[in-house]
């Protein structure tokens, strides 16, 4: 089956006064129709930059998409003129942002903000757009009568529901959800994730879910890509990643999650910090923190090893390696 979204060797950097930040370093991934991909990793791994690059929303300057190809339903997004790309954003690909308080306009009512998306892409009248906006608010469990209120009059969870309604306004084929529950408390997080899952299934929409939370990934995603220092170090379907994690970084992430079935479960944090993006380590980017580091890891970029759709960027699994 042909992938709905296909990304080949995407590279993005930021040119700053301090130097060049190498944010995304050769990312390749695919998402099929009606599939959900979880993109996981620590803060600073390059997840949000990757998502913004797909939609060509990287602020320039300082951001520069150096190279790479992005195909959506066979269409080369990286070659589209800006006016055509604007018709893709919000219409065929939508984004749910981390913090709805900063992504919503504080001086416009929420109903007008949802209706604005519909008018821009569907070519309907303002009255019809507002009717659809109110219907969408009901769909995300907010009374339509509140469409005349402003963002500051809603709680954090309700603002995120409005952001979801905006993302769904034109029935997109792909939704990019950038840590949609980060700013919410635990109970509201569960409600928002359940809402996203229900709407995704109802509308048969594909999704890229960016998150730190492996529990959310386990509930929502079909496939998982683990990102570190601008690279995808491991990819596979949900069962492969959760039951048979291969990369030492992926295993480290799972060791940071408490096991509620074990009475004496101990969290084992990964030693060290994410590398300085101005000066990335030579060889494997993870080697300064890796408990299984080989001599080759310090100097040589690891090859990509793949078996049955499960790929890993690690010397341990290369031919002749410790686990190869």
Give the per-residue pLDDT at 303.
93
Give the per-residue pLDDT at 196.
87
User: Are the C-beta atoms of residues 65 and 56 closer than 8 Å to each other?
Assistant: yes
* 190-219: pLDDT as tens digits: 888 888 888 888 889 999 999 988 888 998
Q: Is the pLDDT of residue 321 over 70?
A: no
Q: Is 94 exposed, middle or buried (0-12, 13-18, 19+ CB in 10 A)?
A: buried
Give the per-residue pLDDT at 180.
86
User: Are the C-beta atoms of residues 23 and 208 closer than 8 Å to each other?
Assistant: no
Name the residue ranges covered by the structural domains of the chain. Answer: 5-92+170-317
Give the per-residue pLDDT at 256.
86
Contacts of 262 (CB under 8 A, 6+ apart): none
17 band by pLDDT with thresholds 50, 70 and 90: very high
Q: Is 8 exposed, middle or buried (0-12, 13-18, 19+ CB in 10 A)?
A: middle
What is the average pLDDT across 287-306?
94
Phi, psi of 140 (to 5 degrees): -95, 20
User: Are the C-beta atoms of residues 161 and 140 closer than 8 Å to each other?
Assistant: yes
What is the average pLDDT across 292-320?
91
User: Are the C-beta atoms of residues 310 and 235 closer than 8 Å to each other?
Assistant: yes
Contacts of 294 (CB under 8 A, 6+ apart): 315, 316, 321, 322
Handedness of CA 120, 124, 130, 132 (dihedral sign): negative
* 230-277: pLDDT as tens digits: 999 999 999 999 999 999 999 999 998 877 666 666 778 899 999 998
pTM: 0.91
Mean pLDDT of the chain: 91
Q: Angle 2-238-95 (CA atoms, 0-180°, nearest 5)?
A: 65
* 105-143: pLDDT as tens digits: 999 999 999 999 999 888 889 999 999 999 999 999 999
Tell the residue number behind the tokens 């620590």, with chain if given: 42
* 29-68: pLDDT as tens digits: 999 999 999 999 998 999 999 999 999 999 888 999 999 9
Give the per-residue pLDDT at 65.
94
The torsion region of residue 80 among left (phi > 0), alpha (psi -120 to 50) and beta comes to beta
302 band by pLDDT with thresholds 50, 70 and 90: very high
Give the per-residue pLDDT at 320.
54
Q: Angle 22-28-32 (CA atoms, 0-180°, nearest 5)?
A: 140
Q: Is the pLDDT of residue 324 over 70?
A: no
C-alpha distances in Å from residue 310, one per residue of 39, 50, 227, 241, 301: 15, 21, 15, 8, 19
| CATH 3.40.50.10140 describes domain 5-92+170-317 | no
Contacts of 138 (CB under 8 A, 6+ apart): 144
If we measure between CA atoms, which residue out of 183, 138, 139 comes closest to residue 157? 183
Give the per-residue pLDDT at 191.
85
Contacts of 281 (CB under 8 A, 6+ apart): 275, 287, 288
| Residue 145: Cβ within 10 Å count | 10
Contacts of 304 (CB under 8 A, 6+ apart): 311, 312, 313
Q: Is the pLDDT of residue 1 over 60?
A: no
User: Are the C-beta atoms of residues 217 and 211 closer than 8 Å to each other?
Assistant: yes
Handedness of CA 245, 250, 252, 253 (dihedral sign): negative
Give the per-residue pLDDT at 29.
95
Give the per-residue pLDDT at 189.
83
Rounded to the nearest 10 degrees, how much is the dihedral formed by the CA atoms of 209, 212, 213, 218?
Answer: 50
User: Are the C-beta atoms of residues 115 and 126 closer than 8 Å to each other?
Assistant: yes
319 band by pLDDT with thresholds 50, 70 and 90: low
């Amino acid at each position: 089956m042909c992938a709905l979204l296909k990304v080949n060797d995407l590279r993005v950097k930021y040119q700053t006064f301090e130097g060049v930040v190498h944010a995304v370093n050769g990312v390749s991934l695919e998402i099929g129709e009606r599939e959900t991909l979880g993109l996981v990793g620590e803060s600073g791994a390059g997840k949000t930059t990757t998502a913004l690059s797909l939609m060509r929303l990287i602020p320039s300057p300082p951001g520069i998409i150096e190279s790479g190809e992005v195909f959506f339903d066979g269409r080369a997004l990286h070659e589209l003129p800006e006016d055509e790309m604007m018709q893709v954003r919000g219409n065929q690909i939508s984004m749910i942002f981390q913090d709805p308080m900063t992504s919503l306009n504080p001086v416009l009512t929420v109903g007008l903000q949802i209706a604005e998306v519909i008018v821009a892409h569907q070519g309907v009248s303002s009255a019809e757009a507002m009717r659809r906006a109110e219907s969408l608010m009901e769909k995300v469990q907010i009374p339509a009568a509140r469409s005349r209120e402003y963002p500051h009059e809603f709680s954090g969870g309700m603002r995120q529901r409005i952001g979801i309604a905006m993302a769904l306004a034109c029935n997109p084929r792909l939704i990019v959800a950038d840590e949609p529950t980060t700013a919410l408390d635990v109970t509201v997080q569960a409600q928002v994730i359940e809402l996203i899952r229900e709407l995704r299934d109802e509308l048969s929409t594909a999704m890229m879910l960016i998150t730190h939370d492996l529990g959310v990934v386990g509930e929502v995603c079909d496939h998982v890509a683990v990102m570190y220092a601008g690279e995808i170090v491991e990819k596979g379907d949900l069962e492969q990643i959760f039951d048979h994690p291969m990369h030492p970084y992926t295993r480290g992430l799972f060791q940071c999650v408490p096991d509620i079935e074990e009475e004496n479960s101990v969290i084992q944090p990964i030693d060290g910090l994410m590398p300085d993006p101005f000066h990335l380590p030579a060889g494997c980017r993870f080697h300064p923190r890796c408990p299984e580091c080989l001599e080759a890891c310090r100097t040589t970029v690891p090859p990509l090893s793949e078996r049955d759709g499960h790929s890993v960027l690690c010397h341990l699994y290369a031919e002749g390696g410790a686990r190869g």
